[in-house]
Structure 1
């Protein structure tokens, strides 16, 4: 098998594409999937993850349910108005019934067991709120060395999608995001909205996916509510597959171009709550110990070959 990967997710239409991308990539050893609250309730995200793996014929992949709420403060809102009440445009029941049961003991237990058993460092792709990952790193710090890197879909450099400043995954649990992105030392790639919006796929791309076979057709059928939302919010005849962009980087390192930047996450209760403050000034302009941005840095994905990435996604999803 290929590189080892765990996906932490809150499916979610774009999560559905991301999970399928990993599940259908022959060069990926998908060790497990953990669910988290986010786009919809934990019960729904967990069921969606099980059904998506069944769709892709991957009953070998264990699924465990994780955090049902943020670390500290209640979640203010979900994203059913974008993804549908069930997370999949109201069409989750069109997917196969789960083939295996959810793993007993929860997401952290599964993450610990998979990492401890791994004979090489494992990449984790958190594509929902970062609550599970914050809990894992806080409770099992010795496992940091078993994590090759985190490839996180989240954050925004220019403006948010949930508030003027904040992207949904970070906004859903800013305290967890800060612990992971700012306070931890695990290598991390942050894949922000600024890039994922540019990687949007149009209805022509979705049509090719639908024509590729039963799995592609099933994925395309999950998109109507999501497509309608993007037509309204961004004026595009297509969808942003945010989480699939991050998973593409997780399974094919270097497909996204990254740059190192200091980062801070706003956990205050003002209008900036949940925003990611990425210091893109030159090293000389930053000075020493000034500016209020933490000294820790992450690799921020800033660019890619857009057509090449879309072709990469389509080719693998259409297998």
Structure 2
């Protein structure tokens, strides 16, 4: 069925991912950032444009950066890059980290929602150093907050002491700066996460599904065991996944528009000490208004885990991208399709003509199955103003193909166009899936064949051939068909 869908929300993830790294000989770091990132990368509702590393689960920015890079290398699309964030809290930062610069660049390209699932240092630095971009921040979703100082974060029957409001306490000054703006803020607190459990049977189910689900399940076993033995819990709460869920479907949440404020009180985790609390409730009248989530629907768990577990193509194919036609002269072919069918020159998201003469980059050649890595080709895109269809015209100077058209196939003969291109959200995941699929032949059967990002372009692609001779291209990064809002 054809239906109109909402335009993908562009989002940035600011994460302290440690994914089961050891804290000590018997203690592990949490794994929930991995669940959050995996679910978002596999959700057609959002477009993840970048990830920055931050502190929180670790005090070493090199650790969260390295874990994020490794996770994206294993399971992420080439179009999403990890940038290193601040190595210290806001008050101690002197230079602008690369993660903040990358976030600013993404904001310059268009409106953005930011998910903060670690210390909020990078987000505060963005606001501090790039105030001219604040209007492009649609929303900031933060995993933090509570209604009262008496709300203790306890998940297990014999938990030694309550959990800290870690993301907030990791950099209170950052939260003070963020609260002092008029940016739309959403708080996803512990109380909204507490009923959502990952248990042993969930992990066992994940082991039989996608590569990323198996990886997360294996990393989660020690974390689950620690919750069972140390905290007396029958599972663990994947806090960051619940915060990510708000960006996938905010309708899953019950929420209130309440005032929030930072105040001091006795510490319940360190006796005899005073600490800051981020409070938000109907009783506070002197703070600034935020959206405070009080609960998440039970239906969310199955949907979120299905996104992570899915190893079919549903979560990656976004729409039809373009039809490729190899021609002997790009200009002549352009004139024909303009006069015969009304096609026009196509433009990219920045308004530039999609007309690339003399492409010689080796990545293009290798992705196209040209094993010597050499190519010289003119590429031009045309778009039909009503149909929304794109044509990709190509004229190869090298390598030289047949200069004469092959015999025209009859209507009932096997065969097809030169290639049909599909948009995908994650070229690497799709490549691994199709490579193992019966009946699929990659354009280059060498074991080293793998999609690589084009130099200077956000495009990654690969070719494969189906059992009936149709050549397909799976392309990530351009998002041509998705812009038509049709699934």
Alignment of 1:197 onto 2:194: yes
Deviation sequence 1:203-234 (CA, Å, 0-9, x none): 11222222212221101111133213322454
In structure 2, the partner of 1:5 is: 11
1:109 corresponds to which residue? 101
1:269 to partner: Cα distance: 8.9
Greater displacement, 193-202 / 233-242:
233-242
Per-residue deviation at 1:166?
4.1
Cα deviation for residue 160 of structure 1 reads 4.0
SS in 2 for 1:66: coil
- Match of residue 216 from structure 2: 219
Q: Which has the higher helix share?
A: 1
Tell me, yes or no, if the aligned pair for 2:17 and 2:67 is still in contact at 8 Å: yes
| Residues in 2 aligned to 1:200 and 1:253: alpha-carbon distance in whole angstroms | 19
Aligned with 1:37: secondary structure?
A: coil
Q: Which residue of 172, 175, 190 maps to 2:173?
A: 175
Moved more, 141-150 or 163-172: 163-172
Give the distance between the partners of 1:187 and 1:210, measured in 2 at CA. Answer: 39
- Structure 1 position 315 matched with structure 2 position 317: no
CA distance in 2, matches of 1:130, 1:248: 19
User: CA 1:163–1:67 in 2, change beyond 3 Å: closer, same or farther?
Assistant: farther
Partners of 2:191 and 2:295 within 8 A in 1: no
Matched, 1:66 2:85: yes
Matches within 5 A, 1:247-262: 247-262=244-259
Quote the Cα distance in structure 1 between the aligned partners of 2:230 and 2:181: 34
Q: Quick check: which one's strand share is greater?
A: 2
Report how many residues are paired: 276
Q: How does 1:120-159 map to 2 (within 5 A)?
A: 121-157=111-147, 158-159=151-152
Which structure carries more relative contact order (alpha carbon 8 Å, separation 6+)? 1
Return the offset for 1:267.
6.2
Separation in 2 of the partners of 1:318 and 1:249? 19
TM-score if structure 1 supplies the norm length? 0.80
Query: Deviation at 1:314?
Result: 0.8
Could you list the per-position Cα deviations for residues 100-133 of structure 1 after superposition, in whole angstroms to 9, with x for gaps in the alignment?
A: xxxx961111011000012xx2111010011111
Q: Which runs of 5+ in 2 are unaligned?
A: 1-6, 19-30, 155-159, 268-272, 311-487
In structure 2, relative to structure 1, the CA distance for the partners of 1:251 and 1:23 (3 Å cut) is same
Asked if 2 retains the 8 angstrom alpha-carbon contact of 1:175 and 1:267, the reply is no
The farther-off stretch of 227-236 and 55-64 is 227-236
The answer for unaligned runs of 5 or more in structure 1 is 75-103, 287-292
Q: 1:310 to 1:135 in 2, by over 3 A?
A: same
- The 3-state SS of whatever aligns with 2:37 is helix
Does residue 34 of structure 2 align to residue 16 of structure 1? yes
CA 1:69–1:105: 2 relative to 1, 3 Å: closer
Query: Which of 271, 275, 278 lines up with 1:276 in the alignment?
Result: 278
Per-residue CA deviations over 1:238-264 (Å, capped at 9, x if unaligned) read 111100111111122222121111111
The 8 Å contact of residues 113 and 138 in structure 2, kept in 1 or not, is answered as: yes
CA displacement 1:45-94 (0-9 Å, x = unmatched): 011111111222422201111111212379xxxxxxxxxxxxxxxxxxxx
SS in 2 for 1:149: strand
Whichever of the two has the greater Rg, that structure is 2
Q: Provide the rounded CA distance (Å) in 2 between the counterparts of 1:144 and 1:302.
A: 27
Whole-Å separation in 2 of the counterparts to 1:53 and 1:170: 26
Distance 1:38 1:313 in 2: 24
Aligned ranges 1:17-56 → 2 under 5 Å: 17-40=35-58, 41-56=60-75
1 CA distance for matches of 2:161 and 2:291? 24
Q: Aligned runs of 1:292-307 on 2, under 5 Å?
A: 294-306=286-298
1:36–1:272 Cα change, 3 Å: same
Specify whether residues 266 and 231 from structure 1 end up closer, same or farther in structure 2 by C-alpha distance, changes over 3 A only. farther
Q: Could you say if the C-alpha distance between residues 165 and 58 of structure 1 is closer, same or farther in structure 2, counting changes exceeding 3 Å?
A: closer
